[in-house]
Structure 1
Amino acid sequence: MRIVFAGTPAVAIPSLAAVAARHEVVAVITREDAPLGRKRVLTPSPVAAEAARLGLPVIKANRLREEVTERIAELQPDLGVVVAYGGLVREPLLSLPRLGWVNLHFSLLPRWRGAAPVQHAVIAGDAETGAAVFHLVPELDAGDVYAELRRPIGPDETAGELLDALAVEGAALLADTTDALAVGTAVAVPQQGEITVAPKLSLDDARLDLTQPAERVYARLRGVTPEPGAFALLGGERFKLHAARRTIDEPPLAPGAVEARGRRVLLGTGTDPLELVTVQPAGKRAMPAADWLRGAASPTGLVLS
């Protein structure tokens, strides 16, 4: 088939590669170059860089306006494919490909419709998640589902680790679905179950409430890692928590209290303490928690809030 592929971040790269290996990708739509790093250098999206490596034509657009639709119409695509593009596909572009558009979404629809399904699944403490390939419709993530896969969420898995795994597993699911559409054997079924939404996370979502039970604090920490990045306040400044672990049979600590026990650095919550592994004080690099505590001006009496 002649396929138009729309995607932007690195998690869309496995899907682009899988689809391009089986079909003719006539255009890759991705968001415009964005300033990155301290020097704010304009940098192509990961998908743009991969498309260039594969020798595929690229259309850079943050919004799919009339001029983009006209360019796509000239290509006469059979199918449009979306994987984390970061923008809406509206009419008349939505109906332009002969078979419409399909979207690879990283959740078990209709649970966690929206921009951050993996993060919300981890934060909520879901035991299972997956990926779904569905027919794109105007309503957000509401189309009929062609195929899905399921996988457990590991007890220590971060959202970043989970998303990386789903990106690879989902790419194979997407490629198989495009093959089925090409030969006319694909069948889509309506979504069933409770609808939950997964809006994009803000920095406020990444602040840990250390008065909550340890399992909820740990779930949020994992769910916002690596982005936006878990933090608490220390002396009024943002103190990042890059990695932590659950503890077993440790005496409780007051919520937010930091204490060294042997070689470990423990952080109090509303129930059991967590073990801090990697932290980043304001204005400093990420470091092992034990190194940070040894170098703290007052290693006793430290409290995060």
Structure 2
Amino acid sequence: MRLVFAGTPEPAIPTLRALAARHEIVAVVTRPDAPLGRKRVLTPSPVARAAADLDLPVLKAARLDERVTEEIAALQPELGVIVAYGGLVREPLLSAPVHGWINLHFSLLPRWRGAAPVQRALIAGDPEVGVSVFQLVPELDAGDVFGMRAVALAPETTAGDALEVLAADGAALTLDVVAGIAEGTARAEAQSGEPTFAPKMGIDDGMLDWSAPLESVFSRFRGVTPEPGAHTTVGGERLKVLSAAPALDAAPLAPGEIAGEKTRILIGTGSRPLAVSRVQPAGKGVMAAADWWRGQRSEGLRAGS
């Protein structure tokens, strides 16, 4: 089939590569170059780089406006495929391809419609996540579903880990759906169940609440790792929490109380402590949590203060 593909972040790349191996990609639409790092260097999106490696034509656009619609329509695509592009597809672009657009979404729809489904699922303590491929419609993530696959989660799985697995599973599912559409055998069914929503994550979503039970604190850590990143404050300074696990072998501590050990620190929650092994203090590099703690004037210091 003649396809137009729209996507931006790393998890969209496996689907782009899978489709490019089987179909004709007439355009890859992605977000414009963005300033990254301390020096704010303009950097192409991961999908833009992957498209260049595959020698595919790239169209960079912050919005799918009239100009973009005209350019895509002129290419006469049979189907549009979107994976985490970061913008809305509206009419008349929605109807420009012969078969419209399909969307690979990293959730078990209708649960977690929106921008951050994997992160929100982990924060909520969902035992499984998944992928859905559905027909794109004007309403947010509400179209009929062609296919869905569920993935059980290990207790320590972070959002970053889950997205790697889902990106691969989603690529295979999307490839199957596109083949079905090409052959005329694909059938989509209406979503069933009460929708929940997954709004975009912000920095404040990464703040750990030490008064909450350990299960809740660790679920939030998993859901915001690596982005937007888990953090707390100690002595008024932000401290990023990069590696952590439940300390079920440790005695309880008061919420926010910190105890240093040889290879980790323990931070009290509303139930059992959380063991933290790697941190990044404000303005400094990544370091072992135990080394950071030994460098503090620890008397009276607590997490969340």
Q: TM-score, normalised by structure 2?
A: 0.98
- 8 A Cα contact 1:147 1:177, kept in partner: yes
Structure 2 distance, partners of 1:289, 1:274, is 12
Alignment match, 1:163: 163
- SS class of match (2:198): coil
- 8 A Cα contact 2:260 2:266, kept in partner: yes
Structure 2 distance, partners of 1:109, 1:304, is 37
Alignment match, 1:52: 52
Matched, 1:19 2:19: yes
Alignment match, 2:236: 236
- 8 A Cα contact 1:259 1:300, kept in partner: no
How far off its partner does 1:144 sit? Answer: 0.4
Alignment match, 1:304: 303
Gaps of 5+ in 2: none
- 8 A Cα contact 2:250 2:273, kept in partner: yes
Aligned-partner residue type, residue 86 of structure 1: G
Matched, 1:191 2:191: yes
Matched, 1:107 2:107: yes
- SS class of match (2:114): coil
Distance 1:66 1:262, change over 3 A: closer
Gaps of 5+ in 1: none
Alignment match, 2:124: 124
Aligned-partner residue type, residue 299 of structure 1: S
- 8 A Cα contact 1:207 1:230, kept in partner: yes
Deviations 1:155-189 (A, max 9, x none): 00100110111011110110111011000010000
Structure 1 distance, partners of 2:264, 2:150, is 36
For residues 223-262 of structure 1, the aligned pairs below 5 Å read: 223-261=223-261
Matched, 1:153 2:150: no
For residues 166-181 of structure 1, the aligned pairs below 5 Å read: 166-181=166-181
Measured on the aligned residues, the alpha-carbon RMSD in Å equals: 1.0
Structure 2 distance, partners of 1:59, 1:262, is 52
Aligned-partner residue type, residue 182 of structure 2: A
How far off its partner does 1:261 sit? Answer: 4.0
Structure 2 distance, partners of 1:154, 1:249, is 19
- SS class of match (1:254): coil
- SS class of match (1:122): helix
Structure 1 distance, partners of 2:178, 2:198, is 26
- SS class of match (1:76): coil
For residues 133-152 of structure 1, the aligned pairs below 5 Å read: 133-152=133-152
Distance 1:282 1:184, change over 3 A: same
How far off its partner does 1:301 sit? Answer: 3.4
Structure 2 distance, partners of 1:86, 1:218, is 28
Deviations 1:226-261 (A, max 9, x none): 111111111212111111111224221011111024
- 8 A Cα contact 1:110 1:195, kept in partner: yes
Structure 2 distance, partners of 1:215, 1:12, is 30
Task: Single out whichever of 134-143 and 257-266 deviates more from structure 2.
Answer: 257-266
Alignment match, 2:73: 73
- 8 A Cα contact 1:122 1:153, kept in partner: no
How far off its partner does 1:291 sit? Answer: 1.2
Identity, in percent, stands at 62
Structure 1 distance, partners of 2:112, 2:106, is 9
Structure 2 distance, partners of 1:246, 1:274, is 5
- SS class of match (1:13): helix
- 8 A Cα contact 1:213 1:269, kept in partner: yes
Structure 1 distance, partners of 2:52, 2:260, is 50
Q: TM-score, normalised by structure 1?
A: 0.98
Structure 1 distance, partners of 2:133, 2:10, is 18
Structure 1 distance, partners of 2:274, 2:245, is 6
